Amino acid sequence: MAKLTIQDLEVEGNRVLMRVDFNVPLKDSDDGSQRVITDDTRIQAALPSIEHLIKNGARVVLMSHLGRPKGERKAEFSLKPVAERLGELIDAPVAFADDCIGEEVTTAVEQLANGQVLLLENVRYHNEETANDSAFAAKLAAHGDIFVNDAFGTAHRAHASTAGVTDHIDTCAMGFLVERELKYLQEELREPKRPFLVIMGGAKVSDKIEVITALLDKADSVIIGGGMAYTFRKAQGYGIGNSICEDDKLDLALDILKQAKEKNTRFLLPANNLEADAFGEDANARYTEVYGPDGKGGISDDWEGLDIGPEAIEEFSREIATAGTIIWNGPMGVFEIDKFSKGTKAIAEAVANSDAVSIIGGGDSVTAVNKYGLADQMTFMSTGGGASLELLEGKTLPGIAALSEK
Ligand code: AMP
């Protein structure tokens, strides 16, 4: 059955308690007197739901976590700067409460007129938040007649503000952001436009193994790039020098290769790599030979594979150009260092230029797409790292499972 969404709600005059993900990066101002937001993407991502509630006359109470204060009131993790930034973005004052529970908060909520917004202080100033303490969840829930969860980035966590509150409020719906994430990371992938191509990269096989396994059945092709490819190459018997590798995952890598064969899924590892003698912009770097059946093409002893090579880029780009749906999670190399960023940039461009439905998993691939100015050319970019992976693995996210049915 479908879950209730924000559009199904009658909100006028009601106190709507909405969990958002305002976990934005902050730094000290130059004179050290205040904290400033360095990237407000997450605030922007919550605007459609916030503006919808304002327009429809809700009394809006927002709550979020920020960083990991671990149950202590630490000024560096205060959401106060977020209230100010949100006020600028919606062009209206945003009230701020010094805590997320307690009498003063109750009073501030009571004072809200229809269409006004109050942001509560960091829910993780209380240890009960991550412990999903029921009494704490009840205190949070007391601020709302209706609950909306629009915090996709924490939807995979069963915390008091994401799941616990739903035990104490009857009407619990998802916001627009969560709805969009589900549309692209779940619904769109039930019947993907074919060929369906999965591109996985990043440092570790272990982070993405479950996604790869879950999608092997459904995908027509899988591309593996980044550091995780070396675990596969070592498992195949090639030299990988000092490249990153998870030795305890070699059997698993072989099993995945075997499964792909059985399922008739095209499984592409980089045809060659860029290897370097050090990890940095000053390193010497060179392309390896193409991997061949005769053991040719491994990474040299004492060198490290840090990007994919030109033949790999060409082969991957060809695969991308013919895809109907692409899901991409994880860079092809150490793209933070220019010298090792060519592969990731080329793959980002190929995905951007393809006619496929392009879905970018959260985290570093989103950072890369933004870095190369290609965001506009992607169908969808997820705001969640862990949450988007868990959704792709086919797992139920507690923050979504707990919402009311329509
Ligand atoms: P992940 O968070 O698993 O998506 O991994 C992203 C990180 O993987 C980025 O910081 C990359 O620098 C890193 N990475 C990608 N390729 C390699 C590689 N060949 N060796 C080491 N780190 C890599």
Q: Where are the domains of the chain?
A: 6-180, 191-392
Alpha helices by DSSP H, listed for 100-166, are 103-110, 127-130, 134-141
pLDDT of residue 295: 79
CB distance 364 to ligand 1 below 6 Å: yes
Catalytically active residues, by annotation? 42, 204, 363, 386
Give the Cα separation of 240 and 244 in Å (integer): 8
pLDDT of residue 294: 82
Nearest residue by C-alpha to atom 5 in ligand 1: 202
CB distance 241 to ligand 1 below 6 Å: no
Output the DSSP codes for 296-330.
TT-BPTT-EEEEE-HHHHHHHHHHHHT-SEEEEES
Residue with more model confidence, 244 or 206:
244
Segment 69-100, tens digit of pLDDT: 999 999 999 999 999 999 999 999 999 999 99
CB distance 270 to ligand 1 below 6 Å: no
- Report CA dihedral (331, 363, 361, 216) to the nearest 10 degrees: 60
SS3 content of the chain, % helix, strand, coil (to 5): 40, 20, 45
Nearest residue by C-alpha to atom 17 in ligand 1: 227
pLDDT of residue 363: 77
pLDDT of residue 207: 84
Nearest residue by C-alpha to atom 21 in ligand 1: 227
Report which residue type is found at 369: V
Averaged confidence pLDDT in the chain: 96
Check pLDDT > 80 for residue 256.
yes
Token duo for residue 294: 């005769």
Domain 191-392 has CATH 3.40.50.1260: yes
Same fold, 6-180 and 191-392: yes
Closest CA to 39 of 75, 82, 6: 82
Superfamily of domain 6-180: Phosphoglycerate kinase, N-terminal domain (3.40.50.1260)
Token duo for residue 26: 């902050």
Check pLDDT > 80 for residue 198.
yes
CB distance 207 to ligand 1 below 6 Å: yes
The CA 10 to ligand 1 mean position distance, Å, reads 46
Check pLDDT > 90 for residue 349.
yes
The CA 118 to ligand 1 mean position distance, Å, reads 39
Average pLDDT value for residue range 263-290: 97
CB distance 199 to ligand 1 below 6 Å: no
Q: What is the CA radius of gyration of the chain?
A: 23
